[in-house]
Amino acid sequence: MNRFPVLAHVLALSLTAFGTAMPARAAPVVLTGPGAGTEILQMHAGADGKLCIVGVRAGAQAREADRGVIILFDLRANRIAWERSVEPPAGSHRVALRACHADARAVYAGAEVMPTSAAEGRRVTAHVYRFDAQGNLAASTALDTGATDSFVYAIDADAGGVSMAGAATEVAADQVRNAVYFARLDAALGGAAIGKLASGAYQGGALARLAGNTLYIAGNFAPASHAFAGEIDDYAVSKIVAGKYRFSLRPLKLRADTIAATITPANDIVLLGHAGKTTQLLGIGADGKPKENLRVASTFCWTDKISADADTVYAIRGECSNPDAPSVLTAIDRKTGAEVVVSGVIGEPVQVLALGAELVVIARKSDGALLLQRVTKGQDQDG
């Protein structure tokens, strides 16, 4: 089992002004049917209006394997171009697709594969998959990082091949050793070259963007070595270029599990955190220098996912006073902290991506079905 679980509920920022609906620009599209048990882990906007969506679908029965899910969505046509289910390799019981990259030639996905037999220890292996333009599985490979467990942060691709970054962890004598790995493969997923930065690693649930040899990342950071049973609480943000840290900061003095992060197209790392009913919004520029730093009173606390552009943070949040109430989507002004609720979303939002003039929102209906909805930014948000 992955000892670095995804932080399912991280906390965030807001104010209390309520706005009106931002009307959907296109009809909602069903991604999965009722009761499918699918968790979406990432959306990535690629070339030619294509959006890749990856995650994992739980087995319907106790002994049934968990399968990876990948969907290529055509934003121009507002429809699913193709979708595939990825079976675990032989000897494995779970494959979770955690990151993807779509371009005009192919779609690449980074995955974590877990073994069936406990005799194989805690080994989690990072895999890379390549799908052609029609959704056919063209190639796959496992990365040998030399560690007990290999996790996935992010994936990128260009004309020369594929890059992936993640955490490589090793348990020895009740001590855990942590490193960040960087892998480079050719377009056919051969010729893997793997390097490691053995000064610690971000734990599972870290938010990352990989662009060539540059990694932007935010999350709970584990040191190079620590006790196996030790609890880590050290939220950090970093920029790593060609295997070397350009900056590494601890910008919020809050518990790690109360912070959510996103990375904007301009490579700002935006953080939302809270303590009690005070919440904080902080932006870190691509140069490592702080930008906005706002503290406001809030009626919202729990935040599952966020996305942002230059002006606004879009957050999936829960009420402080009623954590069991369904989450809502809010829009938060990066200059003032003023917040409005985005109404008109069908179901409970689980993922959001700020993309040009619109938001792409994935929401879960009461029957478990997932809908993809597109919402125009900024319309009727005057409170």
- Position 117 scores a pLDDT of 67
**Position 1 in a domain:** no
- Position 12 scores a pLDDT of 29
**Position 383 in a domain:** no
Q: Round the average pLDDT of the chain to a whole number and report it.
A: 88
Cα distance between residue 247 and residue 273, in whole Å? 21
Q: Residue 108's domain spans which residues?
A: 10-376
Structure token pair of residue 307: 């996305």
pLDDT tens-place string over residues 43-93: 999 878 999 999 999 876 666 789 999 999 999 999 999 999 999 988 899
Structure token pair of residue 223: 């040191």
**Position 180 in a domain:** yes
C-alpha count within 13 angstroms, C-beta hemisphere, residue 35: 2
**Position 381 in a domain:** no
Structure token pair of residue 350: 């689980």
Instruction: Report which of residues 104 and 95 the model is more confident about.
Output: 95
Answer for the pair 141, 185: CB distance below 8 angstroms, yes or no.
yes
**Position 3 in a domain:** no
**Which CATH number does the domain housing residue 77 bear?**
2.130.10.10
**Position 97 in a domain:** yes
pLDDT tens-place string over residues 209-243: 999 999 999 999 999 998 887 789 999 999 999 99
By CB atoms closer than 10 A (0-12, 13-18, 19+), residue 285 is middle
**Position 5 in a domain:** no
Specify the number of domains making up the chain. 1
- Taking residue 102's Cβ as centre, other Cβ atoms within 10 Å add up to 25
pLDDT band at residue 2 using 50, 70 and 90 as cut-offs? very low
User: What pTM did the predictor assign?
Assistant: 0.89
DSSP notation for 232-263 = P--EEEEEEETTEEEEEE----S-GGGEEEEE
Amino acid at 366: S
**Position 192 in a domain:** yes
Structure token pair of residue 304: 């599952």
DSSP code of residue 21: -
Structure token pair of residue 251: 């910008």
Asked whether residue 305 carries a pLDDT value surpassing 90, the answer given is yes
